[in-house]
Structure 1
Amino acid sequence: MGADEVGTLEALKVIRREIVDPAIAEHKGRIVKTTGDGLLVEFASAVDAVTCAMAVQEKMAGREGQIAFRIGINIGDIISDENDIFGDGVNVAARVENECAPGGVCLSGSAFEQVRGKTTFEFDDLGERSLKNIDRAVRLYGVKPANAKPATAESNRLLSLPDKPSIAVLPFQNMSGDPEQEYFADGMVEDIITALSRFKWLFVIARNSTFTYKGRSVDIRQVGRELGVRYVLEGSVRRAGDRVRITAQLIDAETRAHIWADRYDRAVDDIFALQDEITVSTVAAIEPSVRQAEIERAKRKRPDNLDAYDLVLRATPLVDTGMPEGASQAVPLLERALLLEPNYALAHGQTAFCNEILYLRAGRREDNRTAAIRYAHTAVALGPDDAPALVYAAIAIGLVEHDRILALETFEAALAISPSAAWAYSWGALILGWGGEAERAIEWGERGIRLSPFDPWITAALHGICMGHFLRGRYEDAAAAAQRAIRSKPGFSVSHMFLAASLAKLGRMEDANAAAKRVMQLQPNFSSNGQCSAIGCVPLLATPLIEAMRASGLPE
């Protein structure tokens, strides 16, 4: 046994003696057995079990150290055998504990029914989960103290690990001493994320969520909990003249063990080979048996002209604002890139997306509409193996050309290449919503949020979810999705539009009127018919939506 293991064992003994065992005794529990660093405890009352669990976690939260407990609670049939218990009730409790975040308490649906209304604790419905070796889905509930901050997609700490290996790539630190080189470090990370996303057996968090950690000092274990991943890749980039030095390290987020680390010194014109080398090393560290053929598939199509690549890197943060100002600044950069390399699929896709933004949000000019469609189709033709290019193109095809069938085929082509492409699910949800496909819009939106829970464009997924609930008459859920979208992008008028319509359907006219006024402040030329017409909303949704918008006070 190593020194760290000895220290951990001693710390666990102290915790049991000072916290766990006294709490169990106080709440009339019985320790059935120990299982390594775990305990199986039986209570006569579910209320006692939950109260004991929360007391333990409260004391653990105030204690210094790196030990954190997961606690799962279930009510079910058991079989007693002398000093042990067995059966489905025990098995489900163990699986519930596996779904819990460190420091958390989770209940099965059966346990929740026994404690509901009987304690001061609050509960978050975590939905149904498929648990390992359990032949049915089990609804789970997270427990929190009264008046605790509500769980959201942005702050939820109960993201369970996926069944397959999972990774988040954090922004690499720019060590160049030149803020102008920040885009270069970010571009390196984005390319590594895209390459890793091509492996179907690997769950990859989207860059828009990992980039929320940019410039912050982070705890790797906390990052793993917040994003629901096992592995975290971090590093730094130092560029000087025509040379670049990159350090990278792969860390197990739960144990903080360093799985792999390396340093690379290369000429800048060898940067693509370096990206491939880091990707290959990361994949090999996670899955040593990966075939070389899969490695080759991870190498995305790159431009021949490095100057064109540089221009696209500079344009990307402007493109991804999703706002007319950013799009207007990005288009000249992208046009220069296409002059240098006319067959650059990603540049075509981003130009299509910019023109879609300018058409729908800055005057609906015909030249923007035709340009969005033209560049989108070119991106699809040139980039059948370039997932980001396909996603940008699909957005324009769906929202401007109104060819939702082709748009969804294009999203699905992107997902076939990159199963972790969160944007494909999020924007696909939006287009499904405008097309009246309620259940698919909700399903795709939820997938997009799980893949990128902190994504600045979580708004698109939430709009799709909102429309799905609106179509099904679930106006409370629709309003909740709209409110989350507003928290994500407060200045996006369409979110306030959805909120106004949902509140009108609920008869909350004062709140609906307030939301409608906010729409007009953000978009003075807004009209209900104009919005639905420009985006190609199907009559199934347009009719009740326009009626609700009119009731809220929005102009037709």
Structure 2
Amino acid sequence: MKRCPECRRDYYDDTLLYCLDDGNALLEGPASGSGTGDEPATAIVSEPGAIATGFRGGEDHTRQFVHTTDETAILQTGAVAEPQKNLGDAVEKQQSFSANRATKPLALLVVAVLILVGGFFGYRYFQPAGSGTINSIAVLPFENRSGNADTDYLSDGLAESLIYKLSQLSGLKVSPTSSVVKYKGSQTDISAMSKELEVDAVMSGRVTQRGDDLTISVELIDARTKKLIWAEQYDRKLADLLATQREIAATVVQKLQLQLSGDQTKGLAKQYTNNSEAYQLYLKGRFYSNKRTPAGMKAAIEQFKAAAEKDPNFALAFAGLADAYYLTQVVGDTTAAAQQKETTAMARTYLDRALALDPYLAEAHATLGNIISSTEGKWAEAESSFKRSIELNPSYPSAHHYYSRLLRRQGRFDEALDEAIKAKQLDELSAGISNNLAEALYEKGDIEAAIAEANRGLGLAPFWRQYRTLAHCYLRVGKTDEALANARKAYEVNGAPNTLSVIGYVQAVAGNRAEAQAILSQLENSFAKGDKDGTSSASGTSVATVYAGLGETDRVFEWLEKDFQANRYGNIWGLRTSPQFVPLRGDPRFKDLMRRVGLPE
């Protein structure tokens, strides 16, 4: 049982979050204690022949209304309504009323009252709260009420699809999936949640699957006032999932009173596939991909491939394949990392297919730009891809993030910082975006802000790059002990030879030459053993890093040249953003190397 702290009405449906009388958040337990006080207890009961809600143009869905023990009633949608044993006479009266309403004239009067009262409350409680325009929204992961973890892909996928749809509306800020996933299964207070996400409204939902039948309940709440804006329950077939998702998105736009352009209206109604099986396989692919693990990526690739086979014109399936292949290299899959050229080539092939089918996929353009800039060094082409992605979806944080990294490599630090800030504003809870901003702040000379941002990022996830950034920041301000501690933490998180070089560099700058020389010997031996692509052994750039700390400039360029001759351009492209090589930027050999890899001198 739940109760309203304001009007003290009792609710027997534990799925309700807000009072239907005044919109206040419900509390656990009865308001009247024993239930014999003056306030009537309230029960939600379902009846197939009850009054239609009328919220969706006369479609015939399950009707529900709230029935109280004093025989008043209001319309209600969006709650799972089941009669409770302890409702006693309330349920019995309702069932009796349903069975005899055709023969009792009094029932006609009751029905008329229900319509009038329902219409009043329907208007009152399902209109946007009068707290000003809503400019931002968070769609939380939907709750899986099916009792089967294997259907999590449906609840998670539906929420993510709504995020994808709504994020394409330029007038609405939508929290990305990476920001809201932490709230899955939590009971976080809506005020704290909306404050952290910096949104005006929060949407939540529940999904129940029983064979081919789906029940989807959604609620949209004004986080500023905690008032219910809109709630609805959809009883559909699994095959209608795509259409239902589009309908929910359209209703959200309507309830938020958003004014859309013609292109935005078309985008909202866009159908990426008409094949329900393909769409469900795609949702499974997204579910596994979001796990960001080697096993998850392999499973995602299987599901995306199956989706593409079901519908060879399903552009999102090919875009998902491209992302999955590219991400296998960065989630700890050692086989994919060792086969970097092959996996990148697969990602590029699927990206080209996706964009050939649908050139308006913002995410695909951003991924294409990232691949081009990180593996091919085609800077102008990559920049065009990032700009096109941002044009198509200004609210896509990764586009701004990738673009910022490109600008940093080119030495366009002011522009890079602007894009890094935009990415953070769109996704406050991404550790990768946070680290890029910290590095951009370092390059602008704002070390205090860089340290603060790197530490904030560590609170999101223990990312080795943040420890590396902190090591360079502390070294810059002369705090060698803190720098060494963070360099060692980076190596603990990511024990690659290239990360070991950061410890060697800090030891060298701190004057611990013997320790630096010992690490240098390890790296040179690792480089000598080598591997086909230089992904599991030390690179020439990592050896050059320690020599830079020791101040041996000639040896620095000798080892950088080794990477250039081995076509390991990816290592050299990051030189302009590497703190250890900043003192070398004025050296003619540095400028020549930049010119040879296609970067501004």
Normalised TM-score (structure 1):
0.62
Within a 5 Å distance, the mapping from 1:336-485 to structure 2 comes to 336-359=306-329, 362=334, 363-365=337-339, 366-454=341-429, 458-485=430-457
1:175 counterpart = 2:145: yes
Match of 1:537 in 2: 573
Given that 1:246 and 1:263 are in contact with CA atoms closer than 8 Å, whether structure 2 keeps it comes out as yes
Q: Distance in 1 between matches of 2:151 and 2:399?
A: 29
Q: Distance in 1 between matches of 2:163 and 2:404?
A: 22
Q: Distance in 2 between matches of 1:424 and 1:467?
A: 17
1:386-415: per-residue Cα shift (whole Å, max 9, x none)? 333334443333333333433343333333
Q: Which amino acid aligns with 1:202?
A: L
Q: Distance in 2 between matches of 1:256 and 1:370?
A: 49
SS of residue matched to 1:259: strand
SS of residue matched to 2:497: coil
Pick closer, same or farther for the CA change 1:290–1:316 going to 2, 3 Å.
Answer: closer
Given that 1:430 and 1:463 are in contact with CA atoms closer than 8 Å, whether structure 2 keeps it comes out as no
Given that 1:358 and 1:364 are in contact with CA atoms closer than 8 Å, whether structure 2 keeps it comes out as no
Q: Distance in 1 between matches of 2:276 and 2:381?
A: 32
Match of 1:306 in 2: 276
Q: Distance in 2 between matches of 1:377 and 1:367?
A: 16
1:297-329: per-residue Cα shift (whole Å, max 9, x none)? 213442343333223322324433445454344
Match of 1:297 in 2: 267
Q: Distance in 2 between matches of 1:405 and 1:380?
A: 19
Match of 1:521 in 2: 492
Within a 5 Å distance, the mapping from 1:503-518 to structure 2 comes to 503-518=474-489
1:196 counterpart = 2:166: yes
Q: Which amino acid aligns with 2:192?
A: Q
Q: Which amino acid aligns with 2:469?
A: F
Pick closer, same or farther for the CA change 1:523–1:292 going to 2, 3 Å.
Answer: closer
List runs of 5+ in structure 2 lacking aligned partners: 8-130, 502-539, 543-567, 585-601
SS of residue matched to 2:573: coil
Given that 2:408 and 2:576 are in contact with CA atoms closer than 8 Å, whether structure 1 keeps it comes out as no
Report the Cα offset of residue 236 of structure 1.
Answer: 1.3
Q: Distance in 2 between matches of 1:313 and 1:502?
A: 41
Within a 5 Å distance, the mapping from 1:157-168 to structure 2 comes to 165-168=135-138
Pick closer, same or farther for the CA change 1:469–1:226 going to 2, 3 Å.
Answer: closer
The alignment of Structure 1 onto Structure 2 pairs a total of residues equal to 387
1:70-101: per-residue Cα shift (whole Å, max 9, x none)? xxxxxxxxxxxxxxxxxxxxxxxxxxxxxxxx
SS of residue matched to 2:216: strand
Given that 1:352 and 1:393 are in contact with CA atoms closer than 8 Å, whether structure 2 keeps it comes out as no
Report the Cα offset of residue 444 of structure 1.
Answer: 1.9
Q: Distance in 1 between matches of 2:197 and 2:443?
A: 31
Within a 5 Å distance, the mapping from 1:32-71 to structure 2 comes to none
Pick closer, same or farther for the CA change 1:482–1:252 going to 2, 3 Å.
Answer: closer
Q: Which amino acid aligns with 1:483?
A: N
Match of 2:17 in 1: none
The structure having more radius of gyration, on CA atoms, is 2
1:198-222: per-residue Cα shift (whole Å, max 9, x none)? 2222222212222221101233333
Report the Cα offset of residue 292 of structure 1.
Answer: 7.1
Given that 1:200 and 1:419 are in contact with CA atoms closer than 8 Å, whether structure 2 keeps it comes out as yes
Q: Distance in 2 between matches of 1:408 and 1:300?
A: 27
Q: Distance in 2 between matches of 1:451 and 1:174?
A: 27
Q: Distance in 2 between matches of 1:446 and 1:229?
A: 18
Q: Which amino acid aligns with 2:173?
A: F
Match of 1:211 in 2: 181
Given that 2:288 and 2:299 are in contact with CA atoms closer than 8 Å, whether structure 1 keeps it comes out as yes
Q: Distance in 2 between matches of 1:256 and 1:543?
A: 48
Report the Cα offset of residue 279 of structure 1.
Answer: 1.0
Given that 1:433 and 1:468 are in contact with CA atoms closer than 8 Å, whether structure 2 keeps it comes out as yes
Match of 1:281 in 2: 251
Pick closer, same or farther for the CA change 1:410–1:418 going to 2, 3 Å.
Answer: same
1:205-246: per-residue Cα shift (whole Å, max 9, x none)? 212222221101233333332222222222211111112111
Match of 2:231 in 1: 261
Pick closer, same or farther for the CA change 1:412–1:291 going to 2, 3 Å.
Answer: closer
| Selected match of 2:215 from 241, 245, 255 | 245
Pick closer, same or farther for the CA change 1:425–1:535 going to 2, 3 Å.
Answer: farther
**What is the alpha-carbon root mean square deviation over aligned residues?**
3.2
1:186 counterpart = 2:156: yes
Report the Cα offset of residue 289 of structure 1.
Answer: 5.7
Given that 1:402 and 1:536 are in contact with CA atoms closer than 8 Å, whether structure 2 keeps it comes out as no
1:172-202: per-residue Cα shift (whole Å, max 9, x none)? 2211121211110111111111111222222
SS of residue matched to 1:258: strand
Given that 1:398 and 1:431 are in contact with CA atoms closer than 8 Å, whether structure 2 keeps it comes out as yes
SS of residue matched to 1:246: strand
Aligned-pair identity (%): 26
Q: Distance in 2 between matches of 1:347 and 1:536?
A: 34
Q: Which amino acid aligns with 2:460?
A: S
